[in-house]
Amino acid sequence: MSKVLPDYVLQCGDTVEPRGLASKEINGLAWKIEDFSSPFVTYREIDKAYAIAELAAYWTNDNSLWLGQYADMWNHLSDDGKTINSAYGYLLRAHHGFDQVSKVIECLIADPYSRRATMKINVPHNNPDLYHTKDEPCTMYMQFFIKGNKLDMQVAMRSNDMWYGLPYDLIYFWSIQDFIAKALNKEVGSYTHFAGSLHIYNKDSDNFTQPEDQVLSTLELNIPLIIERAKELKKANSKLKILEIYDTLEVVSE
């Protein structure tokens, strides 16, 4: 994803202050990526260690504060100092007592034309005190459609921060799309994203001034390997260690 979208938000967005946090915001914005072969944005550099850690946490269904050692924001967002409300992997695959990812695969095997291949993240009983929590899940639901030999994915979000949220959300969403596509013997198809609020906080706006051709957007990750070996990666307790484990796993897998 290029710098065009954040530039549009900064230039045309409304000025708002939810929870006293000044930001520029576009409401009800959707876009479609026809070729979702790479989930990495090109308007900012990605923290490789954090990207690996987030995937490892989500694919082991972990809702603990283990991620807090890779991004301190989680320590501040936790309501109880122990868990993360928006631990997407946990919400999709453990919280409700069944694995929504597996159910989507079963659904599309039984009926390739189904409109019921959905997964829900933000549902009312997850967190009834939504007006007071520090961490209300931003993603609402995901939906999947088989189109020929490809699997298309749609995601709807109530709120999407373009600096810290979206770049890493896209990596995780792609990992799900690729995982389900492989299970169905399909290729990754298009990706459609809807944001009720797509925004950039004023405190982050200067980050978008760097010319796109100067951003080091050459990150490469073996995401299927991270999913497969997520438990081993979870043994790390620092960015340096998780990169060491990942590099070792990648060499062994070649």
Lowest mean pLDDT among 45-54, 78-87, 107-116, 202-211: 202-211
Q: Which of 152, 130, 157 is nearest to 26 (CA)?
A: 157
Predicted confidence (pLDDT) per residue in 146-165, tens digit:
999 999 999 999 999 999 99
What one-letter code names the amino acid at 216?
Answer: L
Q: Which of 187, 182, 224 is nearest to 34 (CA)?
A: 187
Provide the domain limits for residue 226: 4-253
Q: Domain tally for the chain?
A: 1
Does 130 have pLDDT greater than 90? Answer: no
pLDDT given at position 212: 65
**pLDDT-based confidence at 187, cuts 50/70/90?**
very high
Residue 205 is classified by DSSP as G
**pLDDT-based confidence at 216, cuts 50/70/90?**
low
Query: Phi and psi for 167 in degrees, rounded to 5?
Result: -60, -40
pTM above 0.85?
Answer: yes
pLDDT given at position 210: 74
What are the structure tokens assigned to 209, written together? Answer: 């001034």
Cα separation, 77 vs 65, whole angstroms: 10
The SS3 call for residue 232 is helix
What one-letter code names the amino acid at 72?
Answer: D
Does 211 have pLDDT greater than 80? Answer: no
Mean pLDDT, the chain, as a whole number?
Answer: 93
DSSP-assigned beta bridge partners for residue 119: 142
pLDDT given at position 209: 82
pLDDT given at position 53: 98
pLDDT given at position 39: 86
Structural Rg of the chain based on CA atoms: 18
* CB burial of residue 251 (10 Å; 0-12, 13-18, 19+): exposed
Q: What is the CATH number of the domain that holds 66?
A: 3.30.572.10
What are the structure tokens assigned to 66, written together? Answer: 């283990």
Q: Which of 1, 36, 10 is nearest to 217 (CA)?
A: 1
